[in-house]
Amino acid sequence: MTGRRTPHLPSKGPELLPAAPFAPRLGDLAADTTHNGRVGVVVALPGEDSATTYHLRPPGGGPTWSAPADGSTLLPVPAQITHATLPAGGGAVYEPRTGQGSVPVVFHFADGSTSEGALTLTSAELERLHAQIGRLLASHDKASGLE
Protein backbone atom coordinates (compact mmCIF):
# COMPACT_ATOMS: atom_id res chain seq x y z
CA MET A 1 0.00 0.00 0.00
CA THR A 2 1.27 3.45 -0.86
CA GLY A 3 -0.92 5.33 1.60
CA ARG A 4 -2.31 7.42 -1.24
CA ARG A 5 -6.02 7.51 -1.78
CA THR A 6 -7.11 6.49 -5.23
CA PRO A 7 -10.38 7.58 -6.76
CA HIS A 8 -13.04 4.92 -7.20
CA LEU A 9 -14.38 6.52 -10.34
CA PRO A 10 -12.35 6.87 -13.52
CA SER A 11 -11.11 10.34 -14.31
CA LYS A 12 -12.85 12.31 -17.03
CA GLY A 13 -11.37 11.56 -20.40
CA PRO A 14 -12.36 11.11 -24.00
CA GLU A 15 -15.68 9.37 -24.41
CA LEU A 16 -15.57 5.88 -25.84
CA LEU A 17 -16.94 5.63 -29.31
CA PRO A 18 -19.62 3.01 -29.85
CA ALA A 19 -18.44 -0.07 -31.68
CA ALA A 20 -19.11 -0.10 -35.39
CA PRO A 21 -22.20 -2.17 -36.20
CA PHE A 22 -21.58 -5.61 -37.63
CA ALA A 23 -22.13 -5.54 -41.38
CA PRO A 24 -21.76 -9.12 -42.59
CA ARG A 25 -20.69 -9.88 -46.13
CA LEU A 26 -22.00 -12.56 -48.42
CA GLY A 27 -20.87 -15.95 -47.14
CA ASP A 28 -20.13 -14.76 -43.59
CA LEU A 29 -21.45 -16.65 -40.59
CA ALA A 30 -23.70 -14.59 -38.35
CA ALA A 31 -25.61 -15.33 -35.15
CA ASP A 32 -29.14 -13.89 -35.14
CA THR A 33 -30.21 -12.68 -31.69
CA THR A 34 -33.91 -12.68 -32.64
CA HIS A 35 -33.63 -16.42 -33.34
CA ASN A 36 -31.95 -17.38 -30.03
CA GLY A 37 -28.45 -16.92 -31.48
CA ARG A 38 -29.12 -19.25 -34.39
CA VAL A 39 -26.13 -19.28 -36.73
CA GLY A 40 -26.59 -18.84 -40.45
CA VAL A 41 -24.62 -18.17 -43.60
CA VAL A 42 -25.44 -14.81 -45.20
CA VAL A 43 -26.86 -15.71 -48.61
CA ALA A 44 -28.29 -12.30 -49.63
CA LEU A 45 -27.43 -8.73 -48.64
CA PRO A 46 -29.84 -5.80 -48.32
CA GLY A 47 -30.01 -3.90 -51.60
CA GLU A 48 -28.69 -6.85 -53.61
CA ASP A 49 -31.04 -8.70 -55.95
CA SER A 50 -33.94 -6.60 -54.62
CA ALA A 51 -33.42 -7.95 -51.09
CA THR A 52 -34.54 -5.52 -48.39
CA THR A 53 -33.12 -7.58 -45.52
CA TYR A 54 -30.26 -9.95 -44.83
CA HIS A 55 -31.11 -13.52 -45.78
CA LEU A 56 -29.48 -16.34 -43.83
CA ARG A 57 -29.49 -20.10 -44.22
CA PRO A 58 -28.21 -22.75 -41.78
CA PRO A 59 -24.61 -23.78 -42.63
CA GLY A 60 -25.67 -27.31 -43.54
CA GLY A 61 -28.65 -26.12 -45.61
CA GLY A 62 -32.26 -25.63 -44.71
CA PRO A 63 -34.92 -22.94 -44.78
CA THR A 64 -33.78 -19.33 -45.24
CA TRP A 65 -34.77 -16.61 -42.79
CA SER A 66 -34.49 -12.82 -42.79
CA ALA A 67 -32.79 -10.34 -40.48
CA PRO A 68 -33.20 -6.53 -40.45
CA ALA A 69 -31.28 -4.59 -43.08
CA ASP A 70 -29.43 -2.58 -40.42
CA GLY A 71 -27.86 -5.79 -39.09
CA SER A 72 -28.88 -4.84 -35.54
CA THR A 73 -29.79 -8.42 -34.62
CA LEU A 74 -26.71 -10.02 -36.17
CA LEU A 75 -23.45 -10.81 -34.37
CA PRO A 76 -20.20 -12.10 -35.86
CA VAL A 77 -19.37 -15.75 -35.31
CA PRO A 78 -15.69 -16.12 -34.42
CA ALA A 79 -13.56 -18.71 -36.17
CA GLN A 80 -13.36 -21.95 -34.21
CA ILE A 81 -10.10 -23.18 -32.70
CA THR A 82 -9.04 -26.40 -34.41
CA HIS A 83 -5.99 -27.20 -32.30
CA ALA A 84 -3.16 -25.76 -30.20
CA THR A 85 0.59 -26.29 -30.59
CA LEU A 86 3.70 -25.39 -28.64
CA PRO A 87 5.66 -22.45 -30.04
CA ALA A 88 9.33 -22.81 -30.93
CA GLY A 89 11.49 -22.42 -27.86
CA GLY A 90 10.63 -22.95 -24.22
CA GLY A 91 8.88 -20.56 -21.96
CA ALA A 92 7.13 -22.83 -19.47
CA VAL A 93 7.17 -21.32 -15.99
CA TYR A 94 6.07 -22.41 -12.52
CA GLU A 95 4.85 -19.85 -10.01
CA PRO A 96 5.36 -21.27 -6.49
CA ARG A 97 3.30 -18.51 -4.88
CA THR A 98 0.13 -19.59 -6.72
CA GLY A 99 1.08 -23.23 -7.25
CA GLN A 100 0.42 -22.90 -10.96
CA GLY A 101 2.41 -23.60 -14.07
CA SER A 102 2.01 -21.88 -17.41
CA VAL A 103 2.96 -23.14 -20.87
CA PRO A 104 2.83 -20.89 -23.95
CA VAL A 105 0.66 -22.23 -26.77
CA VAL A 106 -0.34 -21.18 -30.27
CA PHE A 107 -4.05 -21.53 -31.06
CA HIS A 108 -4.86 -22.40 -34.68
CA PHE A 109 -8.25 -21.33 -36.06
CA ALA A 110 -10.37 -22.86 -38.81
CA ASP A 111 -9.82 -19.76 -40.96
CA GLY A 112 -6.03 -20.32 -40.93
CA SER A 113 -5.22 -17.57 -38.44
CA THR A 114 -3.31 -18.12 -35.19
CA SER A 115 -3.17 -16.50 -31.79
CA GLU A 116 -0.72 -16.88 -28.94
CA GLY A 117 -1.96 -17.78 -25.49
CA ALA A 118 -1.06 -19.78 -22.43
CA LEU A 119 -2.18 -23.01 -20.81
CA THR A 120 -2.29 -22.36 -17.07
CA LEU A 121 -2.43 -25.41 -14.82
CA THR A 122 -2.84 -25.99 -11.09
CA SER A 123 -0.44 -28.36 -9.32
CA ALA A 124 -2.97 -31.20 -9.57
CA GLU A 125 -3.46 -30.53 -13.29
CA LEU A 126 0.31 -30.46 -13.81
CA GLU A 127 0.55 -33.90 -12.18
CA ARG A 128 -2.27 -35.27 -14.37
CA LEU A 129 -0.66 -33.85 -17.50
CA HIS A 130 2.71 -35.31 -16.48
CA ALA A 131 1.11 -38.77 -16.15
CA GLN A 132 -0.68 -38.42 -19.50
CA ILE A 133 2.49 -37.32 -21.29
CA GLY A 134 4.34 -40.25 -19.70
CA ARG A 135 1.76 -42.64 -21.19
CA LEU A 136 2.05 -40.91 -24.59
CA LEU A 137 5.83 -41.25 -24.55
CA ALA A 138 5.59 -44.93 -23.58
CA SER A 139 3.15 -45.53 -26.48
CA HIS A 140 5.51 -43.67 -28.81
CA ASP A 141 8.48 -45.74 -27.68
CA LYS A 142 6.53 -48.99 -28.11
CA ALA A 143 5.28 -48.01 -31.59
CA SER A 144 8.81 -46.94 -32.59
CA GLY A 145 10.36 -50.21 -31.36
CA LEU A 146 12.38 -48.34 -28.75
CA GLU A 147 10.96 -50.36 -25.89
pLDDT tens digits, 4-23:
454 454 445 556 666 667 88
Question: In terms of C-beta density within 10 A (0-12 exposed, 13-18 middle, 19 or more buried), how is residue 116 classed?
Answer: exposed
* 123-132 pLDDT per residue, tens: 999 999 999 9
For 121, how many CA atoms within 13 A lie in the half-sphere containing its CB? 17
pLDDT of res. 15: 62
Q: What is the DSSP letter of 86?
A: P
CB atoms within 10 A of CB 63: 6
pLDDT at 35 over 50: yes
Q: pLDDT confidence of 93, banded at 50, 70, 90?
A: very high
What average pLDDT is seen over the chain? 87
> pTM for this structure?
0.59
Higher pLDDT, 140 or 19: 140
Name all contacts of 25-30 with Cβ < 8 Å and 24+ positions apart: 28/76, 28/77, 29/59, 29/76, 29/77, 30/54, 30/56, 30/67, 30/74, 30/75, 30/76, 30/77
* Confidence category of residue 137, pLDDT binned at 50, 70, 90: very high
Q: Which CATH architecture has domain 81-143?
A: Roll (3.10)
pLDDT tens per residue across span 49-85: 767 899 999 999 999 999 999 999 999 998 899 999 9
Share above pLDDT 70 across residues of the chain, in percent, rounded to a whole number: 85
CB atoms within 10 A of CB 56: 25
Question: What kind and span of H or E run contains 143?
Answer: helix 123-143
Q: For residue 44, which phi and psi values (nearest 5 degrees)? A: -155, 140
Residue ranges per structural domain of the chain: 29-76, 81-143
Asked whether residue 1 carries a pLDDT value surpassing 50, the answer given is no
